[in-house]
Structure 1
């Protein structure tokens, strides 16, 4: 029995997408112990993943913090990992490789860097879709990939029966009008107009709700929808997954909740501007589609509602 390390620091959408890859790694290492190293926001979530033995916390303090770095590297070395799957593929994790396994090839350290196709630059390789890159990375390292291209995030969903009871939720549509403060180009501005159309055209058949993150609760007051919280606090990721899983439909910006919806198999649409493409972030699934516009400010509520009506029926 060997110890295997998977590295995935974030973000939420990336953590959702990596579910299939983690499952494939686990199924190809049936006799081994699978550990994931992640950051605080996803520590408890990964602990609930049935394909993982345990979780290691990386506080991601400055690399100049030599005391922390020394402590973390020593902690990792104690596990005597026989193989590392770097699914973060960041400059930070490349730095970890140089400390832990400086001469390792893909048989020991599986990353974009060690599995890069011959004759292809990393810049060109990164133009491919997220899931395709994971698939290539794992296959190049000897993993049979049955799930990487079709992640299943259903393991994350918590029982939200009490929350539904408190808010009297039966049939409901969830809107996610939020985005990171430094990524405002992802924000579609017409959610309140969409709410009017939903209520009028569907004749109040559905409750319209939002589920803001911890830093979005104040912003949610500007949206004319029911704000779903847990005793005044934002839902955790597992509760959010449960809420999305039992929803009738989701409309979201290109953010973590959109990826949750896609990989739970729930119905919904994500709204894209010119910041990236639905293909590159691997978000479209059988029940989850995307609308892309050169400028989100020119994507009308009527156009979005038309797509909602097509998919929800």
Structure 2
């Protein structure tokens, strides 16, 4: 992200909003626009293009994003929004926390809301907030095969907004310069990233062939890199690959994006970093079992493709390796 782009303000709804520093003040103050997209991480990536279209349409208005608390620091770097409000998504019986959020939203006087979440929770927010002149809600049932980014494009077009980016997320603003990190680890300019893990609660998304794939790729002369998350350190260290970590144990999203953006190819499970690689335009391949629809996730973008099989445990390494070698850009 260019250094001269002001970072959005982050507002915690249960705390007084801190005054904006001089560098954060923005001419866009008239009639703020609210965009709701809680997360998870892959969902926010899918929304990146829609946020850019909204920024271009509302050039003179302040765009405020309501996101889940774990993602507010991440989205504070997004150049398409001016402010991020943290939604703790507290259980409905925790009235104090929910009323604090609703008070924050009501006080802002939003006259236009773009509900990219389209959930029961956001429907409740609509009933409890003063009715804005325009509340546009994403229509894309969870059992449809349509990626959310296409639903966003349709929603914005219906609102008379010029759609140029909704179907092509490009979160390059997320990527730090990883050249120093890679050089310090002795990683050459051409390397393949493997993403063997997933959140601990989603072990069914993990293809067990990553260790063998790393060995086979190394035998073919390819440098292999693994960038584990907090649930994957032990798994990553079992692979014959260069494991990139930070002093605290794992790279943050910005360093991870920097590593992925420089990769020659990425192979990963259905997990956040794999979706990030796809959105960054890196060539790659995602491996899916029967847990969801590849089409629904929207991971097929640009040079990124996916393989889906009934049972990931039965997917042969030879099949994946052949597909990687067929798609790998020539050096």
Structure 2 unaligned blocks of 5 or more:
1-29
State whether structure 2 residue 218 is matched by structure 1 residue 199: yes
State whether structure 2 residue 100 is matched by structure 1 residue 71: yes
The aligned residue for residue 119 of structure 1 is none
Partners of 1:208 and 1:185 lie apart in 2 by 24
Q: TM-score of the superposition, structure 2-length normalised?
A: 0.85
- Post-superposition offset of 1:123: 6.2
Aligned residues: 299
Q: Give 4+ residue runs of structure 1 displaced > 4 Å after superposition.
A: none
State whether structure 2 residue 169 is matched by structure 1 residue 151: yes
Q: TM-score of the superposition, structure 1-length normalised?
A: 0.90
The aligned residue for residue 196 of structure 2 is 177
Q: How well do the aligned residues superpose, as a CA RMSD in angstroms?
A: 1.8
Segment of structure 1 superposing worse, 163-172 or 191-200: 163-172
Partners of 2:298 and 2:145 lie apart in 1 by 12
**Secondary structure in 2 matching 1:310:** helix
Counterparts of 1:55-134 in structure 2, within 5 Å, are 55-101=84-130, 108-112=134-138, 122=141, 126-134=144-152
Partners of 1:84 and 1:5 lie apart in 2 by 5
Segment of structure 1 superposing worse, 128-137 or 49-58: 128-137
Contact 2:193 2:263 in 1 (8 A): yes
CA-to-aligned-CA distance 1:99-153 (integer Å, 9 cap, x gap): 114x66xx6211135xx8xxxxx466x3322222122222222322110011111
The aligned residue for residue 239 of structure 1 is 255
Contact 2:309 2:315 in 1 (8 A): yes
- Post-superposition offset of 1:278: 2.2
Partners of 1:72 and 1:80 lie apart in 2 by 13
- Post-superposition offset of 1:220: 2.2
Partners of 2:44 and 2:310 lie apart in 1 by 27
- Post-superposition offset of 1:300: 0.8
Partners of 1:218 and 1:40 lie apart in 2 by 27
Which of 297, 303, 308 matches 2:319? 303
Partners of 2:264 and 2:274 lie apart in 1 by 14
Structure 1 unaligned blocks of 5 or more:
117-121
- Post-superposition offset of 1:264: 0.6
Partners of 2:127 and 2:145 lie apart in 1 by 25
Contact 1:2 1:31 in 2 (8 A): no
Partners of 1:217 and 1:93 lie apart in 2 by 36
